[in-house]
């Protein structure tokens, strides 16, 4: 007999924009894309066509809009926790709610050196991401918001960086399939995905307190600054070695997180031999014109945790 071994469902790509009209006449904006996935006592909706346990995914979208209207959307860790907690507290049969918030950049435009009160630009594809999972221990019960276990992961995604020197790669395994030449000087480029997992938080009140202290925003700034500074300043021996340094520094700087994860594509730039044209020198120390590669790319991953 086959059986349903895992099931969750929800709404993906819910796009939400919220403006806040500040007392000083300026406006601030937040744009995000939200995912909601629910699990719990929903098996019969799959196995017996029983829709009595199905909260429509349309309702999840409407709930997202209403929560965005009634609650702060910043920091995204708080909004994701509010939304996830709602689903496990309002519905007895929902035991786990996963909410992902992807916050898109809208940076204030400066005109003649002055920040404009209500105009913004998309200065990069980088996003600030949060995944919040709200869990209650037993199913089929209604519980209060302060009984919900919240696990939160924050991240920077799609931060595209390049350094034109200061990166080497040598000493690697050589076998009969190896053509790659060791190098002391190469281009290093990657699109940074960096995530940090917070210590588990018991109840929404804990998330609210952390938000109030500015913990989430401070961690994001620290992770971004550490990533950029280490990328720029490290005499890189490899993507692996550089990303490990970044992760260690974030763990040192942000005491409330228990793990840091990096996923870095190695975006290759190939030298081009142009000697066929009048003996032009364009390799090794003479390399100036390169061919950026869109694929394939290296893909390097690590998770670093505290002892």
Task: Report how far residue 6's alpha carbon sits from residue 49's, in angstroms, rounded to the nearest whole number.
Answer: 16
Q: Using CB under 6 A, pick the residue from 19, 121, 162, 180 that binds ligand URC.
A: 180
Q: Site map for ligand URC, 214-253, x if CB under 6 A?
A: ------------------------xxx-------------
Shorter beta-carbon distance to ligand URC: residue 4 or 180: 180
Residue of 33, 44, 57, 135 marked active site: 57
Q: Can 11 be counted among the known catalytic residues?
A: yes
Three-state secondary structure readout of 116-184: EEEEEECCCCCEEEEEEEEECCCCCCCCCHHHCEEEEEEEEEEEEEEECCCECECCCCCCCCCCCCCEC
Q: Can 118 be counted among the known catalytic residues?
A: no
User: Does residue 200 sit in helix, strand or coil?
Assistant: coil
Task: Answer whether the bond into residue 202 is a cis peptide, omega within 30°.
Answer: no
Q: Can 114 be counted among the known catalytic residues?
A: no
Shorter beta-carbon distance to ligand URC: residue 112 or 176: 176
# residues near ligand URC by CB under 6 A: 7
DSSP 8-class letter at 105: P
Please report, as residue ranges, which positions from 142 to 171 form the binding site for ligand URC (by CB under 6 A): 169
Please report, as residue ranges, which positions from 276 to 305 form the binding site for ligand URC (by CB under 6 A): 298
Residue of 11, 61, 100, 136 marked active site: 11
Helix (H), strand (E) at residue 27:
strand 27-40
- Other residues' Cβ atoms within 10 Å of the Cβ of residue 223: 26
43 binds ligand URC (CB under 6 A): no
Shorter beta-carbon distance to ligand URC: residue 57 or 266: 266
**Crossing angle of helices 204-213 and 76-90, rounded to 10°:** 170
266 binds ligand URC (CB under 6 A): yes
Shorter beta-carbon distance to ligand URC: residue 43 or 297: 297
**Residue 286 Cβ vs ligand URC, minimum distance, rounded to whole Å:** 22
Lookup result for tokens 């959307």: 73
* Residue 281, token pair as written in the block: 């020198």
DSSP 8-class letter at 112: T
Q: Is 221 annotated as a binding residue?
A: no
Applying CB under 6 A, which residues contact ligand URC? 169, 180, 238-240, 266, 298
Give me the active site residues, please. 11, 57, 268
């Amino acid at each position: 007999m086959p059986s349903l071994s895992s099931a969750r469902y929800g709404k993906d790509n819910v796009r939400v924009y919220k403006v806040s009209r500040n007392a000083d006449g300026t406006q601030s904006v937040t744009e995000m894309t939200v995912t909601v996935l629910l699990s719990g006592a929903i098996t019969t909706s799959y196995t017996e066509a029983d829709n009595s346990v199905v909260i429509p995914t349309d309702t999840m979208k409407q709930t997202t809009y209403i929560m965005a209207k009634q609650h702060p959307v910043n920091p995204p860790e708080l909004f994701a926790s509010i939304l996830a907690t709602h689903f496990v507290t309002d519905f007895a049969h929902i035991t786990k709610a996963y909410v992902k918030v992807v916050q898109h950049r809208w940076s204030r435009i400066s005109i003649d050196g002055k920040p404009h009160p209500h105009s913004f630009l998309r200065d990069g594809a980088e996003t600030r991401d949060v995944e919040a999972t709200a869990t209650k221990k037993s199913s089929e019960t209604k519980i209060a918001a302060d009984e919900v276990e919240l696990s939160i992961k924050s991240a920077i995604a799609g931060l595209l960086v390049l350094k034109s020197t200061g990166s080497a790669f040598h000493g690697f395994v050589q076998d009969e399939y190896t053509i790659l030449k060791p190098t002391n000087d190469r281009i290093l480029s990657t699109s940074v995905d960096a995530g940090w997992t917070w210590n588990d938080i018991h109840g929404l009140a804990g998330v609210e307190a952390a938000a109030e202290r500015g913990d989430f925003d401070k961690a994001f700034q620290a992770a971004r600054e550490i990533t950029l500074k280490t990328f720029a300043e490290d005499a890189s021996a490899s993507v692996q070695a550089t990303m490990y340094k970044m992760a260690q520094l974030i763990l040192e700087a942000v005491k409330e997180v228990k793990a840091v994860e990096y996923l870095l594509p190695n975006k290759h730039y190939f030298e081009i031999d142009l000697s066929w044209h009048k003996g032009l020198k364009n390799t090794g120390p003479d390399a100036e014109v390169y061919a950026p590669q869109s694929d394939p790319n290296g893909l390097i991953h690590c998770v670093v945790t505290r002892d």
